Amino acid sequence: MADTFLLTWNPDRSHWNVQELKEGAKRTKRGRVWKSRWSCGNTKKIKAGDRVFLVKLGKEPRGIVASGWVVEPTKHKPVRQGSAVYEDAHWKEDKAEDEKALYVDVAFDHVVDPDSGVLPVDYLRSGVYEGMTWTPQNSGVTIPEKVARRLEKDWAQWVAESRKGQPIKSARKEQGGGFGAWEDNRQIEEGAIHVVARYFQRRGWKVADVSGEKRGYDLLCRRRGEERHVEVKGISGRRVQFPITANERRAWEEDPRFVLAVVTEVLRSPKLRLFRGRGSLGKFAFEDLAYMARLRGRR
């Protein structure tokens, strides 16, 4: 099972400068990965296939600037079996001759402009994010599963708006599935869940929230021996567009009990639309935002 970690980058202290991250942003915007190694502090438990997010520290703007997947090191031996962490000369020039540091090789799938595209840490303070430290002293901090799941969705929205070349903070309600104001996003998610749960409850279904269990849907609805597996998408505007994870799409394709519940105009006049089963996939066009590639026949 893949875990998620937070790596850190301070342009004032790192050998990586802003321009190099900008080149990474251009590369991933074209749909290509940007491969690099990164210091992971004292953490040795990171393995190939784990997810990482890179946070920019130091001077403003501070926040998430990249995401990627850890890959097996090809030029160095891992510090222990099952780990992808390896040791090499320290990244600080004045320590490189005498000291070592721990690194992981990363295939970054999304990098945003570190000057103008950063997902601010101030936006990651409320709701499920409470208690998570986004400005740690050391790189390689574990991101709890529930926090990581939410961050994946919010990051996908943020990157999508960034790719449009719009000022991200002005990507507002009328655009539908845009990022919008942070507090609005939390209200939209909670409001949509409430609308959908009430819809099923009024029709005699017993509703359980299973959104934290990575099943590929949010609500488990049961009634007289029947089950519905309901994934909820809340949208502030009228346009039906939203990010969807690979796990959610897999459930949509393979689960005959799957129902996609889309609530538009959540904060004004909520309107619910239901899309049932695999046959409804054809009503949507999908844009690829990220891939995870694994060699066939290997785990």
Could you tell me if 64 and 129 are in contact, meaning their C-beta atoms sit under 8 angstroms apart? no
Mean pLDDT value of segment 152-177: 59
pLDDT in tens, 255-280: 999 999 999 988 888 999 999 989 99
CA distance linking residue 145 with residue 136, whole number of Å: 18
Q: Full-prediction pTM beyond 0.75? A: no
CATH of domain 4-157: 3.10.590
pLDDT (0 to 100) of residue 183: 42
pLDDT (0 to 100) of residue 78: 93
Q: Does the structure show a pLDDT above 50 at 168?
A: no
Spans of all domains in the chain: 4-157, 174-283
CATH of 174-283, one of 3.40.1350.10, 3.30.70.3340, 3.20.20.140, 1.10.3720.10: 3.40.1350.10
Look over the chain and give the mean of its residue pLDDT values, rounded to a whole number: 83
Least confident of 168-177, 214-223, 284-293: 168-177
